[in-house]
A and B are shown apart, each in its own frame.
Chain A
Amino acid sequence: MHAPREQTYLSATVDIRSWLLTTDHKRIALLYFAGITFFFFIGGIAATLIRFELITPGPTLGSPDFYNRLFTMHGIIMVWFFLIPSIPTTMGNFILPMMIGARDLAFPRLNLASWYLYMSGGLITIAALLLGGLDTGWTFYEPYSTFYATGYVILAVFGIFVAGFSSILTGLNFIVTVHKLRAPGMTWYRLPVFVWSTYATSIILVLATPVLAMTLLMLLAERVLHVGIFSPQLGGDPILFQHMFWFYSHPAVYIMILPSMGVISEVVPVFSSKPLFGYYFVVWCSIAIAAIGFLVWGHHMFVAGQSLYASLAFSFLSYLVAVPSAIKVFNWIATMHEGWIRFDAPMLYAFGFIGLFTIGGLTGLMLAALAVDVHVTDTYFVVAHFHYIMVGGAVMGFFAGLHYWWPKISGRLYPDYWARFAAILAFFGFNLTFFPQFILGYLGMPRRYQSYPPEFQIWHVLSSAGASILAVGYALPIFYFAWSILRGPRASANPWGATGLEWTTRSPPPPENFAKTPTVVRPPYQYDRGKPCMQAGDVR
Chain B
Amino acid sequence: MSDRALGFQYGTLAQQRETATLGMWAFLATEVLFFGALIAAYLNYRIWFGQEFIAAASLTKVVLGTANTAVLLTSSACMAMAVTTFDAGSKRAPVLWLSATGLLGLVFIVIKATEWWLEYQEHLVPALNFDLARHGGVAEIFFVFYFCATGLHALHLLIGISLVTWLAVRIGSGRLQPGGSTTRLIGLYWHFVDIVWIFLFPLIYLAGRNA
Contacts and interface: CB of A to CB of B under 8 A. Distances in A.
Contacts of B7: 108
B33 interface: yes
Contacts of A173: 23
B9 A106 contact: yes
B41 to A, nearest CB: 6
A107 B38 CA distance: 29
A217 B7 CA distance: 36
B137 A168 contact: no
B9 A108 contact: yes
A103 interface: yes
A227 B127 contact: yes
B13 interface: no
A218 B30 contact: no
B122 interface: no
Nearest to A103: B9
Interface residues of B, number: 39
Contacts of B44: 237, 240, 243
B128 to A, nearest CB: 9
Contact of A172 (B23, B37, B126, B130): B23
Contacts of B33: 207-208, 210-211
Contacts of B117: none
Interface in A183-218: 206-211, 213-215, 217-218
Nearest to B10: A181
B37 A181 contact: no
B37 A215 contact: yes
B141 A234 contact: yes
A512 B29 CA distance: 31
B31 to A, nearest CB: 7
Contacts of A236: 137, 141
B45 interface: yes
A108 to B, nearest CB: 7
A226 B9 CA distance: 50
Contacts of B10: 181
Interface in A239-266: 240, 243-244, 247
A168 B141 CA distance: 29
B29 A244 contact: no
A104 B19 contact: no
A168 B144 CA distance: 26
B198 interface: no
A235 B130 CA distance: 15
A213 B37 CA distance: 9
Given A106-B19, A233-B137, A176 B26 contact: yes
A214 B151 CA distance: 13
A228 B136 CA distance: 13
B49 A235 contact: yes
A234 B132 CA distance: 9
A181 B9 contact: yes
A185 to B, nearest CB: 13
Nearest to B44: A240
A227 B144 contact: yes
B40 to A, nearest CB: 8
Nearest to B35: A214
A97 B9 CA distance: 10
Contacts of B194: none
Contacts of A237: 44-45, 48
A512 B8 CA distance: 9
Contacts of B127: 225-227
Interface string A315-335: 000000000000000000000
A437 to B, nearest CB: 33
Nearest to A168: B30
A429 B29 CA distance: 43
Interface in A453-504: none
Interface string B95-114: 00000000000000000000
Contact of A218 (B136, B138, B140, B148): B148
B138 A172 contact: no
A179 B22 contact: yes
A217 B34 CA distance: 10
A286 to B, nearest CB: 19
A96 B15 CA distance: 19
Given A108-B9, A218-B41, A225-B126, A176 B19 contact: yes
Contacts of A134: none
Interface in B117-163: 126-127, 130, 132, 136-138, 140-141, 144-145, 148
Question: Which 5 A-B pairs rank lowest in CB-CB distance, beginning with the nearest?
Answer: A234-B137, A225-B127, A210-B34, A214-B37, A210-B33
24 contacts: A103-B8, A104-B9, A107-B23, A172-B26, A173-B23, A176-B26, A180-B15, A206-B29, A208-B33, A210-B37, A214-B35, A217-B148, A218-B38, A225-B127, A227-B126, A227-B140, A228-B141, A229-B144, A233-B137, A235-B49, A235-B137, A240-B41, A240-B44, A517-B11
Interface of B: 7-11, 15, 18-19, 22-23, 26-27, 29-31, 33-38, 40-41, 44-45, 48-49, 126-127, 130, 132, 136-138, 140-141, 144-145, 148
Given A180-B18, A208-B33, 19 more contacts: A104-B9, A108-B7, A108-B9, A172-B26, A176-B19, A179-B19, A179-B22, A180-B19, A210-B34, A210-B37, A213-B34, A214-B34, A221-B144, A221-B148, A225-B127, A234-B141, A236-B141, A244-B40, A512-B8
